[in-house]
Amino acid sequence: MRCSFSILAGLLATGMIFGLSETWATGASSSETTHIVSAGETLFSIALHYYGDGTRYRRIAEANGLKPPYVIHPGQKLLIPGATAETASVGPSGSEPTTSPASPEEIARATSSAPLLLPTEMTALEVEGDARLIRSTEPARILRRGTRLEEGDILLLDSREARVLLSTSLGERLVLEGAARFEIRELSASEADSRRIYRLESGRLEFAVPHRPDLSLFAIHTPSGRVALRSGEGALTVLDSHRTAISIWRGEATVSNAFGVRDVPAGRGMILRTLEPSDTIVALPETPHVTIETAPHTIVVAIAAEAERNFRVILFSDADGMHNVGGVTGHTDQTGVAVRRLPARAGRYWIRCTTLTRTFLEGIPTAAGPILLREDNP
């Protein structure tokens, strides 16, 4: 069995960030109703309305052929499989089930009639490993899947294996990982002006911010300075209290600290420093090409990139890239090739491969999957 993939990891919108999903569009049936998306809605909030459980958002995604990052737009029609007559009758849409595009009048009505967005629309969609939530009015508690987050909340990840996938009402997706401390400073949102301000004290944060005219500020503060953008994708890694690695995959970021202001365009990165002027803005490593083969109890990964380029391969058991079940690091040889074998049990897997500089700047990742590993793989 052989499969070959070279797919840029797309993160934008309401549903991180990682990997690909095997989803299939389904037609309308008697057990499905239709929902017209309003401004500020996410798949999580829609699933919460119809099923009483926001973590069932993948069911809606699969019924509508949506793959990560699950992009939805105001006025878009979504099939809601298995919605009861009661929930359908009180839902925002009373339209007949159909997958045809919404009319301009429906889009205008869905957008203009939407209420002001709440300032607390952030949800922990997935939690892997040990993570805690600190809220000023409550004792510290374990962060669980589906938790709604507020301004002032602090997330603490207690191990290198911990990962948290966050989604907001503006469609951002954030993945926090490693031994991290992350603070939500502002989640203001209205139909005219929205602001998102966070602080990453330690760990790694991967972000995807879709373009929205109402988003006036998306900013991440770090110990070495601030990173701001209107839309785009990238990753930040706090290396220590004086250095932060900044990789911008799409869009453009404005980076600032006491030494000045720099613009970092797509495909570029830099090390932001506090004790001395920051490094020159440099090109990120090229996106690796990945080829997958399977063997008994083994997934074989062949990587093609620049010669002697560092890389990281992570094996996940889910399409969202939350459940890490293995991985390997290394570097390509003088011809730009490397082969690694990952032991695994029978099951479905997704792989993510990232090239790295020696200063931990990251190229745009390549994702592959699903990979089916059977007991009888030759």
Q: Which residue in the block uniquely carries the two structure tokens 């207690």?
A: 158
Same domain flag for 129 and 269: yes
Does residue 240 belong to any structural domain of this protein?
A: yes
Residue 87 has pLDDT above 70, yes or no: no
* Cβ–Cβ under 8 Å, residues 133 and 140: yes
The predicted structure's pLDDT at residue 312: 93
Residue 21 has pLDDT above 80, yes or no: no
Give the residue-averaged pLDDT of 221-247. Answer: 95
The pLDDT-based confidence of 356 (bands split at 50, 70, 90) is very high
Residues 100 and 247 in one domain: no
SS3 155: strand
Element (H, E) at 197: strand 194-209
Which of 60, 85, 112 represents a domain boundary (last residue)?
112
CA 356/CA 312 separation, integer angstroms: 8
Q: Is residue 151 part of a domain?
A: yes
Examine the domain organization and report whether 104 and 131 are in the same domain.
Answer: no
Distance, CA of 98 to CA of 203 (rounded, Å): 44
Residue 11 belongs to some domain of the structure: no
What the block records as the tokens of 350 is 């997704």
pLDDT digits (tens, 9 = 90+) for 42-83: 777 788 788 877 777 888 888 888 876 577 777 888 999 887
Find the range with the poorest average confidence among 24-28, 35-39, 196-200, 330-334: 24-28
Is 268 a domain residue? yes
Whether 249 and 158 share a structural domain: yes
Closest to 170 in 3D by CA, of 219, 213, 225, 136: 213
Task: Please give the angle made by the CA atoms of 254, 256 and 259, to the nearest 5 degrees.
Answer: 140
Altogether, the residues listed in the chain come to a count of 378
327 has a pLDDT exceeding 80: yes
Q: Can the peptide bond before residue 68 be classed as cis, meaning omega within 30 degrees of 0?
A: no
Residue 37 placed within a domain: yes
Query: Mind giving me the DSSP string for 334-365?
Result: TTSEEEEEEE--SEEEEEEEEEE-TT--BPPP
User: How far apart are the C-alpha atoms of 106 and 111, rounded to whole Å?
Assistant: 8
Contact 161, 179 (CB under 8 A): no
The domain spanning residue 302 has which CATH number? 2.60.40.10
Burial class (CB in 10 A: 0-12, 13-18, 19+), 194: buried
- Residue by residue, DSSP assigns 261-277 as EEEE-TTEEEEEESSSP
Pair 273, 266: CB distance under 8 Å: no
Residue 362 pLDDT: 94
The reply to whether 228 and 365 lie within a common domain is: no
* The pLDDT of residue 178 is above 80: yes
Question: Do 76 and 104 touch, CB atoms closer than 8 A?
Answer: no
Residue 359, token pair as written in the block: 């200063």
CB 231 within 8 A of CB 198: no
One-character DSSP codes across 85-96: HHHHHHSS--PP
**Does 4 fall in a domain?**
no
HSE-CB at 224 with a 13 A cutoff on CA atoms is 23
Per residue in 96-144, pLDDT (tens digit) is: 444 455 555 555 554 444 444 444 578 898 898 899 999 987 888 999 9
Stretch among 5-19, 84-98, 301-315 having the lowest mean pLDDT: 5-19
DSSP 206-238: EEEE---TTEEEEEEEETTEEEEESSEEEEEEE
User: Quick one: 191 and 308 in the same domain?
Assistant: no
Parent domain of 230? 122-283
Question: Which amino acid appears at position 139 of this protein?
Answer: P
Q: What is the distance between the alpha carbons of residues 256 and 254, in angstroms, rounded to a whole number?
A: 7
Domain boundary among the residues 263, 283, 303 is at: 283
pLDDT for residue 32: 66
Query: Measuring CA to CA, which residue among 209, 293, 225 is closest to residue 260?
Result: 225
CB distance 42 to 15 below 8 Å: yes
Residues 76 and 219 in one domain: no
CATH number for 234: 2.60.120.1440
Structure tokens at 108: 């205008």
Give domain status of residue 359, yes or no: yes
Q: Residues 67, 171: one domain?
A: no
Please report, for the domain that includes residue 41, its CATH number: 3.10.350
Same domain membership, residue 154 and residue 98: no
Per-residue pLDDT tens digits for 235-292: 999 999 999 999 999 999 999 999 899 999 999 999 999 988 877 899 999 999 999 9
- Give pLDDT, residue 100: 52
**Contact call for residues 147 and 163 (beta carbons, < 8 A):** no
Split into its structural domains, the chain has a count of 3
DSSP characters over 292-308: EEEETTEEEEEEE-STT
In this structure, the answer to whether residues 256 and 355 fall within a common structural domain is: no
166 shares its domain with 75: no
Show which of 283, 306, 334 is a domain's final residue.
283
Whether residue 336 is contained in a domain is answered as: yes
Same domain, 54 and 85: yes
